[in-house]
Amino acid sequence: MHWKILIGMGLGVMAGLLLANFSWAPSFVKDWIKPFGTMFINALKLIAVPLILTSLIKGVSDLKDLSHLSKMGFRTVFTFIATTVVAVSIGLVLVNIIKPGASISEATRVDLISSYESDASTNISKAVEQKETGPLQGLQEIIPDNIFGAAADNRNMLQVIFFALLVGVGLILIPKESARPVKEFFDGFNDVILKIIDLLMLTAPFGVFALLAALVIDAPGLDLFAALGMYAITVIAGLILMLVVYAILVYTFTGKNPAAFYKALAPAQLLAFSTSSSAATLPVTMERVTEHMGVPKEVASFVLPVGATINMDGTSLYQAVAAVFIAQAFGLDLSIGTQLGIIATATLASIGSAAVPGAGMVMLVIVLAQAGIPEAGLALIFGIDRPLDMCRTVVNVSGDAAVSNLVAKAIIPVTVPAVELEEVKL
């Protein structure tokens, strides 16, 4: 499947480059190609909430007692926060060494601001609304007043997770005879969702073809990418280093071959690259982790949905690099204290980012405001945010998979399928 997805991506890029030579291409792609990519993403998002609900209830209720749940929860959240801090730190170190802001000319800055002023204003207004809320607003919003209302919006994943945890805990506490029919229902529902995922993945190569073709058509000019090239290189270098960090963690704490780990995860990474959405990729991530890495389903069903919501290592790294880059472009010197503040703010902002394309841009405004950096600088990076969003989503998904392996090793001995062992041996 990952080869089919890769071929679909390649053909999509080629089709976009070919059609870009014709004046009628943008409207043709928008009307006849891009909708298929949109339908593919919508189909994946359609099953995101049912998947999280059923898999979490099943995973929690399969645990023997609440002490097991608390132990798993603490290890999961602690590991996610630790990797996020590492990601932000890597981003700050790289951006201070490379100094990509020095390569931005005045002409390029003026052109970007005029081109993306309206988009930047939209993100700024959304961020202002979040900044005006109280300090406990984020905690307050975790608890929904209506589970059906929460399940109606993919941005409310934390609320769905909270409800699923409550149901799972309730199933542990009531007598087994009473819990059995409810567990059997959610077990069966989970199997149905997984089968739907199998069917949807058959259309993945066509979906990513449409997504990449539309992206190439909509992309800014090559001179714009050249002007911001050093910024993009800095972000990508940091993301690659995070993939190395995951490989080291997986090998150190689980003994797994990093090459085998990334080979098993490749379809999920390619889908994450195409969709720029951790939530949309969650079904595939769960399938790769459980069936190809040997992580027990009760662990994956807890760690991965939580990770898709709060673990945004790629997003936090990008926010740190973007904040300092914008400051450099405006000629601002950031003190050590300010950059330490960026670490804290970017970590918290990444946790609050929705697992959907472009959410990191909204949270970036909060990081900029904390550091005293002009929010108008958001327009400087808006032009190349989409391709970088695709790259950082790959890191987000890889981090979720790595942490699920670490937690599984600490909680339950991980058994690698015989097929994977044979591949590693070869």
Number of domains forming the structure of the chain: 1
Judge whether 84 and 316 are in contact, CB under 8 Å. Answer: yes
Judge whether 103 and 229 are in contact, CB under 8 Å. Answer: yes
What is residue 1's predicted lDDT score, i.e. its pLDDT? 65
What is residue 136's predicted lDDT score, i.e. its pLDDT? 64
Tell me the one-letter amino acid at 210. Answer: A
What is residue 425's predicted lDDT score, i.e. its pLDDT? 42
Interval 20-66: pLDDT, tens: 888 888 888 888 988 998 888 788 778 777 877 887 787 677 666 66
Q: Could you tell me the CATH number of the domain that includes residue 279?
A: 1.10.3860.10
What is residue 423's predicted lDDT score, i.e. its pLDDT? 46
What is residue 418's predicted lDDT score, i.e. its pLDDT? 40
CA of 254: how far to CAs of 80, 81, 84, in Å? 17, 19, 20
What is residue 76's predicted lDDT score, i.e. its pLDDT? 83
Tokens of 266: 């490749």
What is residue 417's predicted lDDT score, i.e. its pLDDT? 47
> Which of 164, 229, 228 minimizes the C-alpha distance to 190?
164
Four-point Cα dihedral 229, 231, 232, 237, nearest 10: 120
Judge whether 251 and 409 are in contact, CB under 8 Å. Answer: no
**Which residues of the chain register pLDDT less than 70?**
1-2, 59, 62-69, 103-139, 154-158, 218-227, 309, 331, 348-363, 365-366, 369-370, 374-380, 382-384, 412-426
Range of 220's domain?
2-425
